[in-house]
Amino acid sequence: MKTNRKFTRRQSLKLFGFGATGIALSACAAPRPATQAPGAEQPAQPAADGGKLEIFSWWTSGGEVEALEALYKLYREKYPNVEIINAALAGGAGQGGNMKAVLETRMIGGDPPDSFQVHLGQELIGSHVKAGRMEDLSDLYASEGWNNVFPKGLIELASYEGKPYSVPVNIHRSNVMWYNTNHLAEAGLDKPPATWDEWFDYAEKLKAKGIGALAVAGADPNFSAHVFENILVATLGPEKYTGLFNGATAWDDPGVKEAMDILLRSHEYAQADYLSVAWGDINEVMTSGKASTMIMGDWTHGLFKSAGFKDYGWAPAPGTNGVFVALSDSFGLPKNVKHRENVINWLKLCGSREGQDAFNPIKGSIPARTDPDLSKYDDYLKQTIEAFKTNTIVGSIQHGAAAPQGFVNDYDTIVSTLLASKDTAAAMKELVAAAKTAGLSK
C-alpha cells in the first residue's frame, strides 16, 4: 500500500482543479472583470411585499436542519418581509436521490426552485450549467469580493468556461474515519488504525468481542461506494486517483483491483444487520455501539453533535493521511426564477463571512472562505481548516466534485454489483466503459 506524501498548497489546489474539471489552474488566476450583468446593476432589494424565497435541498437530518436554519435566521433578520419556503426533501438513493429527481423534472419543465443545494463541480455543471439553465454569477463574485476570499481551485471548480455558476457555502471532507473511543480502549489500542493492514488487525480483535468493525448501510448501495472512493485514494495515492478522471489512470489499474479487494474484505467485518440498514439510519449504528468505525464525510460530526453522542474520535480514512478528499455544497441561481432579487440576497448571505460562520460550525464543515472567525469553530473543525491548507486536495466522486452525475450513477451500480458478485475483473471492465461513456477517458 502507498504512503501518501504531503504536497504544497499550490500542488494541492492544482490536483483538485485538474482532477475535477480538467482545466488548468492558471486559467482561473486572472481577476474577473467587474462588469454588471443585466438585472444585477441595482443593489438587490426584495419585492415591496417581500415576496418569497424557495430553497430546495436534501438537508433533513440532524445537524443539516439546524445549520440551514441558522442561515434562514440571518436571512429573516435582514429581510423580515420575505417568506422563506424550506422545500427540503428526504429520501431516495444516495445523497438527495429524491430531491435530485424532482429538481431535474422542475428544471426541465421550466419551474425551477428559487435556489437549490448542489455539489460544487461536475454535479452542477454536468446536470444544469451545460444545459444552459443557470445564470452566470461573475458579477456577484466581483461585487462581493469572492474572487479574493474563496480559494482559486474552488472558484475553478464552480466555473464552466471561466464563469462561476454557484456559491460554495462550505467544504466537507469525505475521507474521515469516525471511531468509537470506548471500543478502541477496550481493544487495548492507544491510537486509531492508520492503514488498512492496521484496520484489519483491529477488526479481528473486535470480531472476538462480537462488535462489527465497519458501519455499513447495505440497503443503500451508494454508501459502500463512498467507502470505496476512500480506499481508492489509499491504494492509488492522490495523483493517480485524480488521474482516474482525466484519463491518466485506467480504471483497471492494479491499484483499483487492490482497492476492490480491500472493500470486499472490509465488508466481512460489517455490523451484523448491515444489509438491512439504510444510509439515513447509519448514525444509530455508531451511536448504539453496534459498529466501531465508520468511513464517512464530516457531516457525521454535525449529526453526532446533534444526537448528543460524545464517545467518538476521528482520523483520516486508513491510508489517506495527508490527503483531503473534498466536496462542497453550493447554491446557484436558475434562469427565470420567480424571486430573483431574493435569491441574489440569499447567495450574498451564503457567500458572506457571517453566513458561513453561522452555518459551518453546526453543519460539521469548514468555511469555503479563507477568512473565518476561528473562535466559532471547534477542535475538529480547526484541525480540518488546517488540513485543507496543508494536505493534497482531491475531489470526491460520490459527492459530485470529481465526475458528472451520469458517471456517479454508473459507479454506484458497479460497486453495488461488485459487493454481491465479488467479480473484480467484471467491475473493472464496467468502470473502464463507464469512464469512456462519461468522457473521462478516451
Residues lying near ligand GAL in the complex (CB under 6 A) are found at 59, 64, 95, 119, 172, 299, 327, 329, 399
The alpha carbon of 306 is separated from its chain's Cα centroid by a whole number of angstroms, namely 19
Nearest distance, CB of residue 299 and ligand GAL, angstroms = 4
Query: Which sign, positive or negative, has the C-alpha torsion 106, 109, 114, 116?
Result: positive
Q: In whole angstroms, what is the distance from residue 325 CA to residue 121 CA? A: 14
> Could you give phi then psi for residue 386, rounded to 5 degrees?
-70, -45
Nearest distance, CB of residue 119 and ligand GAL, angstroms = 6
Residue with Cβ nearer ligand GAL (348 or 399): 399
Residue with Cβ nearer ligand GAL (96 or 164): 96
Residue with Cβ nearer ligand GAL (96 or 212): 96
Q: In whole angstroms, what is the distance from residue 221 CA to residue 274 CA? A: 11
The alpha carbon of 347 is separated from its chain's Cα centroid by a whole number of angstroms, namely 19
Q: In whole angstroms, what is the distance from residue 193 CA to residue 203 CA? A: 10
Nearest distance, CB of residue 395 and ligand GAL, angstroms = 12
Nearest distance, CB of residue 41 and ligand GAL, angstroms = 33
Half-sphere exposure of 441 (CA within 13 A, CB side): 17
Residue with Cβ nearer ligand GAL (25 or 307): 307
Half-sphere exposure of 316 (CA within 13 A, CB side): 24
Residue 432: partners with Cβ closer than 8 Å, 6 or more residues away: 250, 251, 252, 441
Nearest distance, CB of residue 174 and ligand GAL, angstroms = 9
CA distances from 16 to 39, 351, 361, 415 (A): 33, 21, 24, 24
Would you state the cell numbers that stand for residue 410, as one nine-digit string? 454508473
Residue with Cβ nearer ligand GAL (360 or 441): 360
Nearest distance, CB of residue 345 and ligand GAL, angstroms = 22
Residue with Cβ nearer ligand GAL (64 or 410): 64
Nearest distance, CB of residue 33 and ligand GAL, angstroms = 31
Residue with Cβ nearer ligand GAL (21 or 57): 57
